[in-house]
Amino acid sequence: EVQVVQSGAEVKKPGESLKISCKASGYSFTTYWIGWVRQMPGKGLECMGVIYPGDSDTRYSPSFQGQVTLSVDKSISTAYLQWSSLKASDTAIYYCVRHSEAGGLTSPFDIWGQGTLVTVSS
């Protein structure tokens, strides 16, 4: 079964760092772009950026450039989303997604993780 499974919910304080994960299985991890999507409480979906595990080519959406870092570990088929200094406004559910076409960015998100709730509060 093709799936991505995300790490569990996190509760952090403002200023703390965080790295959440997304483990892929059932397909060739290195040949499909992986993306991250933010959903703030009661709000819509926002694309944060994408990364190609084959060579770590990374593209950030303008609103998220400099705010987060995407990375992968090919050896364990896992993608990561990290923050160096969290803010209360980072409180949201974060979804890991897979682009549906091998090697292709011009494709929709066919596989979604279950979401990771990140709560940032003092």
Partner 1 sequence: DIQMTQSPSTLSASVGDGVTITCRASQSIGRWLAWYQQKPGKAPKLLIYQASSLESGVPSRFSGSGSGTEFTLTISSLQPDDSATYYCQQYNGYSTFGQGTNVEIK
Query: Least distance to partner 1 from the beta carbon of 63, Å?
Result: 8
Reading the block at residue 52, the tokens are: 């190609």
Residues 2, 76: contact at Cβ < 8 Å? Answer: no
Beta carbon nearer to partner 1, 53 or 113: 113
Residues 117, 10: contact at Cβ < 8 Å? Answer: yes
Beta carbon nearer to partner 1, 65 or 85: 65
DSSP assignment, residue 33? -
Reading the block at residue 94, the tokens are: 């974060």
Query: Least distance to partner 1 from the beta carbon of 77, Å?
Result: 19
Beta carbon nearer to partner 1, 54 or 115: 115
Give the Cα separation of 90 and 92 in Å (integer). Answer: 6
Query: Least distance to partner 1 from the beta carbon of 75, Å?
Result: 26
Signed CA dihedral, 97, 100, 104, 107: sign only = negative
Binding-site ranges for partner 1 (CB under 8 A): 35, 44-47, 50, 59, 61-62, 95, 100, 105-110, 112-115
Beta carbon nearer to partner 1, 85 or 114: 114
Query: Least distance to partner 1 from the beta carbon of 122, Å?
Result: 26
